Amino acid sequence: MSDTIKLKLRSSKPAKTAGAQPERVIKDEAWEASQTAVIVCDVWDYHHCLNAVLRLEEFAPRLDQVLKAARERRAVVIHAPSDCMPAYVDHPGRRRAQQTPQAKSLPPDIQYWCSRLDQEEGRYPIDQSDGGEDDDPQEHVKWAAKLKTMGRNPGTPWQKQSDLITIDGERDYISDRGDEVWNILEKHGIRNVILTGVHCNMCVVGRPFGLRQMKRNGKNVVLMRDMTDSMYSPKSWPYVDHFTGHDLVLDYVEQQICPTITSDQLLGGEPFRWKGDQRQTPAVARVNSSKSNLNLKQHWTSLKTQGKVFQILLERADEPMWYRGALRFPEDWYAKGPVSLGLPDGKRRVWLNGVELKPSPQTADQRPRFNLPKEHVAVNDYNLIVVRADHTTADVKRKWEVDLIAGKERWEFEPIWQIRTGDSDSFSNIPLPAKFGMGPDAVLRLKAPK
């Protein structure tokens, strides 16, 4: 079989007019299979969402065929079922990954999640902060009970990769570590990477071996869009069916991160499509989903990307305003001294990862400050910061400056917050770590320290 893989890379451009479809751009490329790797992300044996399991089991047999075709062309296959390495401690594929020589240079932060690339701009297409479970509530309760009877934690029931995916013990690699995966790529002179697996809007884009890290560090990376799924529930904004929500995520990936391909480009035939996807014209559904009003009472909206937001804030200045964002806390911040958050003067409440913080004595400039205790922080990981503010019209009009102090160093935030109006105790938290539940339009970035 040929050692060259002929691909059609699809990218998207934003629609030129409201309600129109994204513009598709197809580019033909030929990749040397020996310089190509396929990464299988988090195709676990079980999941806390029953529908996610059923969808995965539907496309997994075809993904197994994709991996077989990749091996026949002499591509490298890397299985990356995160959190499941104990199941493979004696597997030759795991030992092979661990014994791979360290690359001459490792990219900065390759061992960590990447929740945003500098190039990513605009509004994230779905709200995934509820975790994205789309199970029927009664079925979900039964599924959780079944997982318990199996001795599994219903919240994190995965223990190994699905048995529907073959692992070639003589050739394949097994690793969930970014540095190990990078070592494998460098050992084989891999220039091209194909990502498959679940879930596209969380793990596939963000893991240390995911799309963003591969893109950031110079690999020719693509997503196999018919061999992935998203965690999205129709009860969340933009209130469309699951498959349309997944299409919106794919549009975002193609516009902001990397191109996509389909499995038929390796196998022939037609791209995979779920049996449950009964849409006759998916593109029309996608167009209709873009016609959602800017309603700050119904969903979170990015401050930076929505020009209409500030006028709406002025109109609702008497309502409580909620701000949220995800921030990665390097461990060395706490080596510098206490870490605190500074806010504009006014009535504020602050939560860190769902824990409400007590205000500390005000500084000389009278800015409210809140200490960020290390015991509530996931260091070297993304954390959720939520602020509730009682605004006035004058408060809305002035610049909303926020800073962070670690020891004697002070940083200012770029204004990349998501906001909601009104009031709800549920706004203070999300049921998943920030790196799973937040879109990249709410990843807070800091300016250079002063």
Q: Which helix (H) or strand (E) holds 28?
A: strand 23-32
Polymer length of the chain: 450
In a domain, 177, yes or no: yes
Residue closest to 79 by CA, chosen among 101, 54, 60: 60
Q: Does residue 450 form part of some domain?
A: no
Q: Is residue 449 part of a domain?
A: no
The residue type found at 118 is D
Strands of 374-447, DSSP E:
382-390, 403-406, 409-412, 418-421
Same domain flag for 261 and 352: no
Answer yes or no: do 236 and 315 share one domain. Answer: no
Domain span holding position 399: 301-442
From 265, 289, 313, give the residue that closes a domain: 289
Residue 42 domain-assigned? yes
Given 289, 313, 333, the domain boundary residue is 289
Residue type at 222 in one-letter notation: V
Q: Is the distance from CB of 87 to CB of 158 less than 8 angstroms?
A: no
DSSP one-letter string for 63-128: HHHHHHHHHHTT-EEEEE-TT-GGGGTT-HHHHHHHTSPPPS-PPTTTTS-----TT--S--SS--
Helix/strand/coil for 195: strand
Whether residue 117 is found in the same domain as residue 177: yes
> Is the residue at 448 inside a domain?
no
Strands 382-390 and 320-328: antiparallel
Q: Are residues 205 and 321 in the same domain?
A: no
CATH code for the domain in which residue 267 is found: 3.40.50.850
In this prediction, residue 310 has a pLDDT band, given cuts at 50, 70 and 90, of low
Please tell me whether residues 279 and 330 are part of one structural domain.
Answer: no
pLDDT digits (tens, 9 = 90+) for 62-106: 999 999 999 999 999 999 999 999 999 999 999 999 999 999 999
Q: Is residue 326 part of a domain?
A: yes
Instruction: Tell me: do 258 and 330 sit in the same domain.
Output: no
Neighbours of 23 (CB within 10 A): 12
| Distance of alpha carbon 384 from the chain centroid | 14
Q: What is the pLDDT of residues 331-375, one digit of tens each?
A: 889 999 999 999 887 788 999 999 999 888 766 556 789 999 999
Question: How far apart are alpha carbons 271 and 289 in whole angstroms?
Answer: 24
pTM comes to: 0.93
Residue whose C-alpha is closest to residue 107's, from 209, 221, 222, 220 = 209
Q: Are the beta carbons of 124 and 42 closer than 8 angstroms?
A: no
**Tens digit of each residue's pLDDT (9 = 90 or more) over 392-412:** 666 666 667 788 999 889 998
Q: Do both 221 and 155 map to the same domain?
A: yes
What is the arithmetic mean of pLDDT over 417-432?
84
Q: What pLDDT, in 10s, does the model give residues 244-297?
A: 999 999 999 999 999 999 999 999 999 999 999 988 766 555 555 444 556 777
pLDDT for 78:
99
In a domain, 40, yes or no: yes
User: pLDDT: is 84 or 379 the higher one?
Assistant: 84
Whether residues 229 and 134 fall in one domain: yes
Task: Give the number of other Cβ atoms within 10 Å of residue 321's Cβ.
Answer: 22
Same domain, 158 and 252: yes
Residue 405's domain is classified under what CATH number? 2.60.120
Q: DSSP labels for 340-365?
A: EEE--SSEEEEEETTEEEPEEPP-TT
Residue 447 lies in a domain: no
Residues 396 and 313: beta-carbon distance below 8 Å: yes
Q: Are residues 134 and 175 in the same domain?
A: yes
Identify the pLDDT of residue 347: 83
Q: Which of 58-72, 301-315, 379-393, 416-430 has the lowest mean pLDDT?
A: 301-315
pLDDT of residue 195: 98
317 and 233, same structural domain? Answer: no
In tens, the pLDDT along 126-160 reads 999 889 999 999 999 999 999 999 999 999 999 99
Tally the domains of the chain.
2
Q: Are residues 161 and 272 in the same domain?
A: yes
CB atoms inside a 10 Å sphere around CB 331: 11
51 has a pLDDT exceeding 90: yes
Cβ partners under 8 Å of residue 25, min gap 6: 10, 11, 12, 13
- Give the CB-side neighbour count of residue 133, counting CA atoms within 13 A: 19
What is the distance between the alpha carbons of residues 245 and 291, in angstroms, rounded to a whole number? 14
Question: Which of these three, 226, 261, 289, is where a domain ends?
Answer: 289
Report the chain's C-alpha Rg in angstroms.
Answer: 23
Q: Which H or E run contains 174?
A: strand 173-174
Do residues 249 and 206 make contact, with C-beta atoms less than 8 angstroms apart? no
**Residue 301, pLDDT score:** 82
